Structure 1
Amino acid sequence: MRKTEYIHTHALLAEVTRRLVENGTMSVETLSTYDALETRPSSIHKSKQNHREAILMLGRAIESCLREARTDSHEQSVNR
């Protein structure tokens, strides 16, 4: 991928993450490792590798959050 494609993907995942935090599905604490990178989609001066790492971290956080939400909803339906 080109750097611009990494930045675009990073921006999309950051938006998904922002919405998950806003609706209470994901806690802000989940993003501590991402925040430590100090690479945002707007950080166009950062390297392609920096954006790749940010994408991987956001992807893992989103996956974990959705997996927990799925497990919680499954447990609720079983307990009914």
Structure 2
Amino acid sequence: MKKQELIHLHGLLAQVQDHYEEQTGNTVDHDEYTALGVQPTSIHKSKTDHKDAVFALAHGITSEIESKKTERVSAAAD
């Protein structure tokens, strides 16, 4: 994946995080992501930095979603 594509993916994941937090009221734990100090607008950072940020952000989002899973409701009608 090219650096420009990683930056784009990074920006999309940041929007997914914002949308998830707005819709659910839950806060995604992004300490690992924040510690990296790489934002989607940090175009001067290296490709590896953005790759690490994408993985950290994706991990934070998926961990939050998995921790909030509820029991599935049967689709069958009564």
Q: How many residues align?
A: 73
Q: Percentage identity across aligned positions?
A: 37
Alpha-carbon separation, structure 1, partners of 2:25 and 2:46: 30
What RMSD in Å do the two structures reach over aligned CA positions? 1.7
Structure 1: state its 5+ residue gaps. Answer: none
Alpha-carbon separation, structure 2, partners of 1:24 and 1:31: 16
CA contact (8 A) 1:7 1:51 kept: yes
Query: Could you report, residue by residue, the CA deviation over 1:7-34 in whole angstroms, capped at 9, with x for unpaired residues?
Result: 0000000100112222345425x11111
After the TM superposition, which parts of structure 1 deviate over 4 Å for at least 4 consecutive aligned residues?
none
Q: Partner residue of 1:49?
A: 48
Partner amino acid for 1:20?
Y
Structure 2: state its 5+ residue gaps. Answer: 74-78
3-state DSSP of counterpart to 2:43: coil
Q: Partner residue of 2:3?
A: 3
Greater C-alpha Rg:
2
Alignment of 1:1-80 (within 5 A): 1-28=1-28, 30-70=29-69, 73-74=70-71
Partner amino acid for 1:44?
I
TM-score (norm 2): 0.82
More helix by share: 1
TM-score (norm 1): 0.80
